[in-house]
Structure 1
């Protein structure tokens, strides 16, 4: 079924060009179509406001600059962010961690996998000394060959959900519940910690201001796009609540 936005049908050529940009998405085809819909909506509005739509990037940028302005981050907001998220401004912080991965694949029954992983976790909570042995037998990660060892990890070395959990554990700590990430279910422990040091606020103030301003701009852009989508005539796809903002945010980043 063709997708038509404000009377204009999206072409196969446009989709072929857009699709490679969304290869990592859960549903690349849908995300690509949604991105094209949003682009068409923005270009139509830019044209309606008299902007030169022959330069598509310039027209969209001009439209957003005019209609979706966002405030610059002030000193107070930057200092609050620094105080609330000190872990983001630590340097030299390292951990040594082990894990056992129960990989989630399309053919796996997640409930059965979770039940099995919880049994294994309960056994290790009773006898943590068997961690390496169990990792070699059970883990779906290449680290199984070395008893589940991931070696030294710094901030940014793993996916965010894994990082948050392991950096919150003390040395020698075994997480008492399963950790679920995009890769599957994990049993994790930290064997060693090397504490870092907090960078002074003055060293990171500019970085914080840039990040907060970008966040504010992103929120303003997403709200504006949602408004335009609500006004547009879109046929051939039903956009889910929140989907346009998510795809637009990902494309803008």
Structure 2
């Protein structure tokens, strides 16, 4: 298993997609339909001094580039986090060079190769950070204290008939409700009658399969529909339609499949992996903290007790 405590360019924070990346192009520009702002007018990243680690300066440009991986409420905090991350990385690289580590470069599952610096840090931490292995009792304590995490979800085998309003005003919604209520009044609990009505009246693509939603987990449906399903008995059709933002739903619950708690023996390997990964992260942070205590660092104050949070 390969772990990373300090990445090549983002020591503890994975790259995040900016919310604007999912917006329409016109809205990314700062105003719908406006032209993109001139990048020369953007404010320069903050700089708060020179950072030196055992005589090696961390280039201000590198810190400015690193800032994007450290979202913070203000520029100074972001700069400190970025500078600290790069200072820790420099400490690890210096130690790897001192130990004359020359590791082979590895590739991830997608075929991308790590940098030689990343490889050096990986091998250094594998050699010098010694995590405690998760024992049987620790695994059982974790399992018993978080038993709900190891329960399979409840499943609802359900179907619906969707009646959409033909407009957005309340009159259109009222007409759709009246139509849905009329259909309900003609239905009993027979599944074949329900499927036939779904094929005839439902505006949902599931109409082609008799309105069947298949087996859905709690939370996969809109709250109003989920709440109504929770109150239905197995094998029955709701006597009143339910409104959601999509329209009026006539609901049927074929059956509910209760979730079950997975035995410890089944989930034990996953628990071991999780606890070992956590122990590795803690051990790596402690090792980096020890290097920081011994180092001569100028321009940034590193609290060894907070290294695991960088």
Q: Which has the larger radius of gyration?
A: 2
Residue 217 of structure 1: aligned partner: 280
* Aligned counterpart in structure 1 of residue 78 of structure 2, from 20, 28, 33: 28
Given that residues 25 and 31 in structure 1 are in contact (C-alpha distance below 8 angstroms), is that contact kept between their aligned partners in structure 2?
Answer: no
Once residues 36 and 45 of structure 1 are traced to their aligned partners in structure 2, the CA distance between those partners, rounded to angstroms, is 14
Change in 2 beyond 3 A, CA 1:21/1:93 = farther
Which 5+ residue runs of structure 2 have no aligned equivalent? Answer: 1-48, 104-114, 156-217, 221-257
* Aligned counterpart in structure 1 of residue 309 of structure 2, from 235, 246, 249: 246
Q: CA deviation at 1:24?
A: 5.7
* Aligned counterpart in structure 1 of residue 136 of structure 2, from 71, 75, 80: 75
Given that residues 289 and 304 in structure 2 are in contact (C-alpha distance below 8 angstroms), is that contact kept between their aligned partners in structure 1?
Answer: no
Change in 2 beyond 3 A, CA 1:239/1:153 = farther
Once residues 55 and 268 of structure 2 are traced to their aligned partners in structure 1, the CA distance between those partners, rounded to angstroms, is 48
Which 5+ residue runs of structure 1 have no aligned equivalent? Answer: 95-151, 155-194, 248-253
Aligned residue for 2:66, secondary structure, equals: helix
Once residues 93 and 60 of structure 1 are traced to their aligned partners in structure 2, the CA distance between those partners, rounded to angstroms, is 44
Residue 180 of structure 2: aligned partner: none
TM-score (norm. length: structure 2)? 0.44
Once residues 72 and 225 of structure 1 are traced to their aligned partners in structure 2, the CA distance between those partners, rounded to angstroms, is 20
Matched, 1:65 2:122: no
Once residues 307 and 154 of structure 2 are traced to their aligned partners in structure 1, the CA distance between those partners, rounded to angstroms, is 37
Matched, 1:227 2:287: no
Question: In proportion to residue count, which structure has more strand?
Answer: 1
Change in 2 beyond 3 A, CA 1:220/1:153 = same
Residue 243 of structure 2: aligned partner: none
Aligned residue for 2:91, secondary structure, equals: helix
Residue 47 of structure 1: aligned partner: 97
Q: CA deviation at 1:15?
A: 1.5
Greater relative contact order (CA < 8 Å, ≥ 6 in sequence): 1
